[in-house]
Structure 1
């Protein structure tokens, strides 16, 4: 079949239009479906003075397809003017579908800033052995440090600095990830010397990091096997689940630090100008004012969304609320009673981490130390402070029971229903036993007792103080959540109804924390915000309260049952149900049926509030000290 010249031109025009449309679609990543009716009249008067040979070919990548090839010979008389008339009629937009492909986001997004408004940024002191809680968690929560292991929201252990680990009857073999770069490229990448040194130095004599201090108790003969491998053998007490405190998801765990940097700049500079391997690096830290971080582009594990992060210290809740409302803050913690001032603001919402860290209001009864008069190393224990009415004389069962009745009276006098209704708006769980609440399916009804002021007064009389006694009470500030302070203060008048005269100390937690490293130092009653419902692994730490020498931090009491409970729990660390069963004597000891060395009230989950610039939130650890910023993502624009 032969094509006329006009048809050839039409074909060429159609091919050009198709190619142009394809280029536009590729550039915009848009798919269009358009139905068009076209009517064309094209009268053409042509002037041609030469012989024309035309070949029509369509180029396809990789091959040439010949549609038509012909020779056309035309000889006409030359005229100086060519006239082309074209009438084009189109009927369009019967149906149009446009699919826009999303442009991938550049990470970190240029110019983006995440503003955290928090009650306390603390001192520029990041080095684990000298950083008091909660400041020893900052480098982890802010994504500056990394750990041997990571943890998934369901508690599954994941590789981080360690790409493989083998747990057996001998111990643990760690194989490290090759090529993990330090923030300062002059120090190269993480090596086995850094791993070994981080734990050896972190658990050194005098360390204040009890979550690293366990390393020396649980393992022996730690050694470098080769350039990629470190081996830890189990200690004298055998295998323990506590090794998973190496994870990032438990903020007090051990971060990996650079040995050469420490030895080059010294401990003070190393701690104040901290260097890690995480997705963010420290630009500056002004004591008790502001921390500024910068994103690591093309991070080896997880390039973050925000280019800059600022953690700004704002102690007053009202100011934090105002900053969030004004768009100057992106994430903060606010006490439950004040949430109604902000949650209805446009773009505001409540978020939490997968592993819920509940806040509580429990009370350590100071001076209740000496149950075992001699420590494991043969030295005398700190003497019991029997000047405190709630402390009994060691070895005198009658006096010990008298003191227990006073502690029971304090528990019976707490109106948990009213606190839950008027302060926590029904979001709390009653707690009668340290570290477990009534919302936990493993809680037992026999550990519950009602609010009963008459019963409390009866117990006060049985305790030898029917008209009350004096009580110094420390309610720590700065670090603990604001809701905790409100709940603790609400309990004060309830105890005052029993005739207890209370003197409140509101010193910052960090200022008195060293007392927990010296047995016998804490003599007053201490309100504690971190003894709420725990995950199973956390008992590897909390069980040590009952054991001499088990942990550097101690809450001031020990008991012979603690050794049996800890041993049974550790032996069953691979069987969840058996491990929980091993804890029952621990719970009974802390109940009103047992010794009740700690008086509990309620626990609850303090949420975080995020603003409109925040998108998806997938934090693992729920922390009010500082949000886990690796799980905070920028909102899609």
Structure 2
């Protein structure tokens, strides 16, 4: 369940899942195949030096409150994101914007301090949706999308209604969408089988295995492009010691996690970029599962009998909780006793993400369509990021800055391969898997797709 309805000021991925592409839209958006296309922008040009992006907006686009979404509205929307008082989770995404111009009513121009090949993909993220600069979007969201907010009862349901003023003919096909928040996976399945719901989003993999071949039910699945990690607080002993982080890496068995938590619906990863992208470099070979080597490293670090720690898990994500439980058992085999502490999502965001008040945690990082924004947490822009406050690498800083500025695709891939190696070698985090998204829908629901971003696009979904 979302803690807020504003994806620009809250890092909860579930907000994007429910509202991105449905209620909120971007200048450009991504297709299920990963290509970018114009959404609010009908066309755009990029200057030869890569510093000026000019967007030509569609005619007749309105916000849900009836206000026009023109060049000035887009400008005000991004000025809101640039304002430190707004409190966006990733200000570094927009730090190169030095000016936003509106030479014509439907033309908006972004001037950048430096060439940024990731700028266009960044504009397709939930962080960059175009909104009015006024109002409380957390409670009363206003966008330009095919659906608008009809009702939100926290703890129960979120209802979207068809936008009658939507600018694309025949979209959406559904008159109403009701999201129900059912935390228990077995109850989700029972609701689907009873006909109480038409679709279960992110079905538990153990239940998907039982549904295969069931008449009247269809399964849609594919890589989530999510990097699931065991995040390590490198600012706290003993995890400030590389040997301890390496021992944890050797202790974790990815294959066992995928077998018992994902039921085979997952792909092992060794870096902070998902394997379904062109930039992924397989680094799983650096730390294969080796409990004996883990014990040796712990002894070298001064912990021959192991030590105790706390594994903080977000209770609203059963998948991460189950992963954490398996990891705790794996760590115990090498002498690390990990006490599990379950917290609600607002507490996780405040204590773990904002304050770095934790030792170990399990969470997922969605793909950002480009390695530059995906890896900012390891670079010079975010020394305060929750998993690297006690670690830094000047070599990595230099390479990340270079990769973010280069336009040559081959050179970027080479640079980001080295970046992934440095991050993996230093065991900044333990990289676990890219889980597969599993949608279970009743027969007659058409138009569902798995996207490379964490979202559920219902704009072209139909139901008989």
With normalisation by structure 1, the TM-score equals 0.66
1:173 is aligned to 54
Q: Does 1:614 align with 2:463?
A: no
**Structure 1 residue 145: deviation in Å?**
1.6
Structure 2 CA distance for partners of 1:551 and 1:320, relative to 1, 3 Å: farther
- Structure 1 residues 517, 217: closer, same or farther in 2, change over 3 A? farther
Determine the C-alpha separation between the residues in 2 that align with 1:310 and 1:605: 24
Following superposition, the deviation at residue 207 of structure 1 comes to 3.6
Which residue of the other structure, out of 296, 299, 302, is the alignment partner of 2:163?
296
Provide the rounded CA distance (Å) in 2 between the counterparts of 1:426 and 1:219.
43
> 2:463 aligns to what?
634
Distance 1:199 1:546, change over 3 A: same
Q: 1 CA distance for matches of 2:17 and 2:460?
A: 15
> Does the aligned pair in 1 maintain the 2:162–2:174 contact within 8 Å?
yes
| Residue 324 (structure 2) pairs with residue 488 (structure 1) | yes
The SS at the match of 1:541 is: helix
Find the aligned partners of 1:208 and 1:490 in 2 and give their Cα distance: 35
Instruction: Report how far residue 291 of structure 1 moved.
Output: 0.8
**Cα contact 1:488–1:527 (8 A) shared by 2:** yes
- Equivalent residue for 2:374? 542
Q: Structure 1 residues 308-317 or 561-570, which shifts more?
A: 561-570
2:141 to 266, 274, 280: 274
- Secondary structure (helix, strand or coil) at the match of 2:152 reads strand
CA pair 298-238 structure 1, distance change in 2 beyond 3 A? closer
Alignment of 1:390 onto 2:239: yes
Deviations 1:241-277 (A, max 9, x none): 2332212xx3x23221224xx2xxxx33x54222222
CA contact (8 A) 2:352 2:358 kept: no
Q: 1:361 to 1:214 in 2, by over 3 A?
A: closer
CA distance in structure 2 between the partners assigned to 1:555 and 1:465 by the alignment: 23
Report the equivalent of 1:597: 428
Matched, 1:578 2:411: yes
Q: Point out the more displaced range, 303-312 or 545-554.
A: 545-554
Instruction: Identify which range, 606-615 or 506-515, moves more after superposition.
Output: 506-515
CA offset at residue 575 of structure 1?
A: 3.1
1:501 is aligned to 2:337: yes
d(CA) in 2 for partners of 1:314 and 1:142?
23
In structure 2, the CA distance between the partners of 1:438 and 1:273, relative to structure 1 (3 Å rule), is closer
**Which residue matches 1:561?**
395
CA contact (8 A) 1:619 1:630 kept: no
**Match in the other structure for 2:365:** 530
Q: Compared with structure 1, are the counterparts of its residues 566 and 445 closer, same or farther at alpha carbon in structure 2 (3 Å cutoff)?
A: closer
Which residue among 178, 181, 204 is the counterpart of 1:310? 178
Q: CA deviation at 1:288?
A: 2.5
> In the TM superposition, what is the alpha-carbon distance from 1:279 to its structure 2 partner?
0.9
Judge conservation of contact 2:356–2:387 (CA < 8 Å) in 1.
no
Aligned pair in 2 of structure 1 residues 182, 439: CA closer, same or farther (>3 Å)?
closer
**2:118 aligned to 227, 241, 257, which one?**
241
TM superposition shift of 1:167: 0.9
Partner residue of 1:155 out of 34, 39, 49: 34
* CA displacement at 1:466 relative to structure 2: 0.9
TM-score computed with the length of structure 2 as normaliser: 0.89
Give the SS at the match of 1:390.
coil
Could you say what the CA RMSD is over the residues aligned between the two structures, in angstroms? Answer: 2.8
Question: Which consecutive unaligned segments of at least 5 residues does structure 1 have?
Answer: 1-119, 369-383, 392-402
SS of the equivalent of 2:387 reads coil
1:304-332 superposed Cα distances (whole Å, 9 cap, x missing partner):
12111100111111110100000111111
Partner SS state of residue 272, structure 1: coil
Could you say if the C-alpha distance between residues 316 and 161 of structure 1 is closer, same or farther in structure 2, counting changes exceeding 3 Å? same
1:396-449 per-residue CA deviation (whole Å, 9 max, x = no partner) reads xxxxxxx21111111212233333334333333223333355998953578344
RCO higher in structure (CA 8 A, sep ≥6): 2
> What is the aligned partner in structure 2 of residue 513 from structure 1?
349
The within-5 A match list for 1:74-89 is: none
Compare CA radii of gyration and give the structure with the larger one. 1
- Quote the residue 2:132 is aligned against: 258
| CA distance 1:455–1:563, shift in 2 (3 Å) | closer
Secondary structure at the counterpart of residue 485 of structure 1: helix
Q: CA deviation at 1:151?
A: 2.3
Q: Give the direction of change, closer, same or farther, for the CA distance of 1:473–1:422 in structure 2 (3 Å limit).
A: closer
- Measured at CA, do residues 158 and 629 of structure 1 come closer, stay the same or move farther in structure 2, by a change above 3 Å? same
In structure 2, relative to structure 1, the CA distance for the partners of 1:492 and 1:139 (3 Å cut) is closer
Alignment partner, residue 39 of structure 1 = none
Contact 1:361–1:488 (CA under 8 A) maintained in structure 2: no
